[in-house]
Each structure stands twice: as structure tokens, then as C-alpha cells.
Amino acid sequence: NAGVTQTPKFRILKIGQSMTLQCTQDMNHNYMYWYRQDPGMGLKLIYYSVGAGITDKGEVPNGYNVSRSTTEDFPLRLELAAPSQTSVYFCASGGSSETQYFGPGTRLLVL
């Protein structure tokens, strides 16, 4: 099992550009999550999904969108990138045991 995979590993965006961060899990988990991590700020929940076709906002959803068309994939869309979205983004998945398993992260720089 690969677990949770994320692409790309690193990306530089110009202000106003858009991009999609990809996340795939092969553990057949129903729950999936997107977090951002800023220095000294811990992990903040952006969006989450409890199953295919079901998504909901987390703590910091502004400027982001998600979709969940399959159990495996949970892409995060950034529209009109802003410098405030410079961060490290982590995708996680979880099953009935409540434990969340994280991907390796995507480092995003918006200039």
C-alpha cells in the first residue's frame, strides 16, 4: 500500500493563478481531509469529506474548493492564488478507527 500520496511536492504560483493539489489514498478510507500548516501555527483544517460526493468546510475554507467523486481521490482547488495561501498543504485519510494518516505534503509558494 502506498498510503496517502500527494502531487506536486512543490509549486510556485503567481498571484491570481489557479492550481489543483492532488490527493489519493489506497486504504479505502471514507474520511479525507485537507490541512494547511504555517510555521508555529499547527495544522488548520481547510475542507473534509466523509464519503464520495460529500464535502464540508473546515476552519479556514476561504479561497479553496474541493470535490470527492471517488473514495480514493480528494483534490483541492485554489482559485486566484494569493500570498496568504503560501503554506504547506497536507492531505489525510481516516477509517473507522479515527486515526488519520497523512501524505507527504505539498509546499506552495505564491509570489
Partner 1 sequence: EDQVTQSPEALRLQEGESSSLNCSYTVSGLRGLFWYRQDPGKGPEFLFTLYSAGEEKEKERLKATLTKKESFLHITAPKPEDSATYLCAVQAVGSSNTGKLIFGQGTTLQVKP
Q: Which residues contact partner 1 (rule: CB under 8 A)? A: 4, 31, 33, 35, 40-45, 48, 50, 56, 58, 90, 92, 94, 98-105
Map residue 85 onto helix, strand or coil: helix
Q: What angle do CA 68, 102, 62 make, to 5 degrees?
A: 55
CB closer to partner 1 out of 5 and 20:
5
Least separation in angstroms between residue 95's CB and partner 1 is 9
Residue 11, H or E segment: strand 10-13
CB closer to partner 1 out of 14 and 97:
97
Return the amino acid letter for 24.
Answer: T
Distance CA 49, CA 54 (A): 6
Least separation in angstroms between residue 3's CB and partner 1 is 9
CB closer to partner 1 out of 31 and 73:
31
Distance (Å) of CA 48 to CA 21, 65, 93: 14, 10, 9
Least separation in angstroms between residue 78's CB and partner 1 is 19
Half-sphere exposure of 4 (CA within 13 A, CB side): 25
CB closer to partner 1 out of 36 and 78:
36
Least separation in angstroms between residue 83's CB and partner 1 is 22
